[in-house]
Amino acid sequence: MSKKQLFQLRFFIILLFLIFIISILSGSFSISFSDFINNKLKPLHSSVLYEIRFPRVILAALVGASLSVSGACLQGLFRNPLADPGLIGVSSGAALGVASTIVLTSGFFASFSQYVLPISGFIGSFLTIILLFYITKGFGYSGMTYLLLAGIAINAFAGVGIGFLTYLSDDQELRSLTFWTMGSFGGALWDLLIPAFFCIIPSLIWVIRLSKKLDVIQLGEIEAQRLGVNIKKLRFSIIMSSAIIVGVSVSLSGMIGFVGLIVPHMIRMMGGVQHNFVLKSSIIFGACLMIIADLLSRTLISPAELPVGLITSAIGSPFFLWLIFTIRKQQLK
């Protein structure tokens, strides 16, 4: 990485730390920064901070980092700037897997739900990525329309499946489905962070190691093979890693769109297209964006709470339209 990129990366790390502190102290129940620093918190404040705010903000950071880096990886693999886990149906596939587990196996896996739901989300996202991969062979700008059309079809199919499962669910299952359908971190607990840490962190480390190969594959698959890149192995690694982190994220927080589209493009505009920088910065900046979205969801209509998915969609929809017009101008030149 260049000196400019290193400076930006360090700036993102400092920004993440500041946003993290602000988020855990802010909300409908505010906590004094001086009391937090001097360890003079009252028992109620300590309970809110360590049992509610900390796991919630950490989960938001993990999910934001996961969705952002998966978007960056899928855009690199498909060589398609519109490859977002939400737009192309990966998040919906994971959501359908989780919904199926919640409704069809309720009670059977109740004691292990914090582990079973991430697995079902992984299976759903993995099958979706495999399906997209074979539908959109050719990739690049020429395959962009097919990728979006496939995503629309998968999102529609998953929506029908989730709607049918919602109709079949009882009151308890319906509450569980409603919790994550629109995206929320309200149910974050330390127990939920266990599968997140053990699944997401190793996957993030693994995809960073693939950054140079993602740079090479942008030249085309034939050229990448001539330069010594094992294309099949790279595809498998990216697909597996993206499926794990998207599946686990969706199972814990619900369907949160546009993060995987917004963050990688913002990073590229700020620091270039080198994937070593893009992936690392996407992890940090994605965590920042998701923590901010969660903070807004808790404070905009306090003491009530907005779904996080609404916040990210409100930010991402205009960006998506701008990106489409930008790509259109590039193709017309």
For the segment 162-175, what is each residue's pLDDT rounded down to a tens digit?
888 888 777 776 76
Residue 24 lies in a domain: no
**pLDDT exceeds 50 at position 274:** yes
Average pLDDT for residues 188-199, to the nearest whole number? 80
Full residue range of the structural domain in which residue 279 is found: 3-10+57-76+83-332
Residue 102 CB-density burial (10 A; 0-12 exposed, 13-18 middle, 19+ buried): buried
Q: What is the pLDDT of residue 42?
A: 82
Segment 211-264, tens digit of pLDDT: 999 999 888 888 888 888 888 888 888 888 888 888 888 878 888 878 888 899
Residue 51 lies in a domain: no
**pLDDT exceeds 80 at position 330:** no
| Contacts of residue 232, Cβ cutoff 8 Å, sequence gap at least 6 | none
Contact 133, 239 (CB under 8 A): yes
**pLDDT exceeds 60 at position 61:** yes
Residue 28 lies in a domain: no
Tokens 């962009």 belong to which residue?
A: 144
Residue 94 lies in a domain: yes
Tokens of 168: 């079949």
Q: What is the pLDDT of residue 176?
A: 65
Residue 263 lies in a domain: yes
| Contacts of residue 261, Cβ cutoff 8 Å, sequence gap at least 6 | 71, 82, 84, 86, 87, 316, 319, 320, 323
Q: What is the pLDDT of residue 141?
A: 47
Q: Which residue has the higher pLDDT, 67 or 170?
A: 67
Q: For the chain, what is the domain count? A: 1
Residue 205 lies in a domain: yes
The percent of residues above 70 in pLDDT, for the chain, comes to 90
CATH code: domain of residue 175? 1.10.3470.10
Contact 267, 281 (CB under 8 A): yes
Q: Which residue has the higher pLDDT, 125 or 115?
A: 125
Residue 45 lies in a domain: no
Q: What is the pLDDT of residue 139?
A: 47
Find which of 30-44, 160-174, 207-221, 276-290 is predicted with most confidence, using mean pLDDT. 276-290
Residue 25 lies in a domain: no
Q: How many C-beta atoms lie closer than 10 Å to residue 263's C-beta?
A: 30
| Nearest partner of 284 among 115, 66, 23, judged by Cα | 66
What single-letter DSSP state applies at residue 186? T
Find which of 2-16, 102-116, 219-233 is predicted with most confidence, using mean pLDDT. 2-16
Contact 141, 329 (CB under 8 A): no
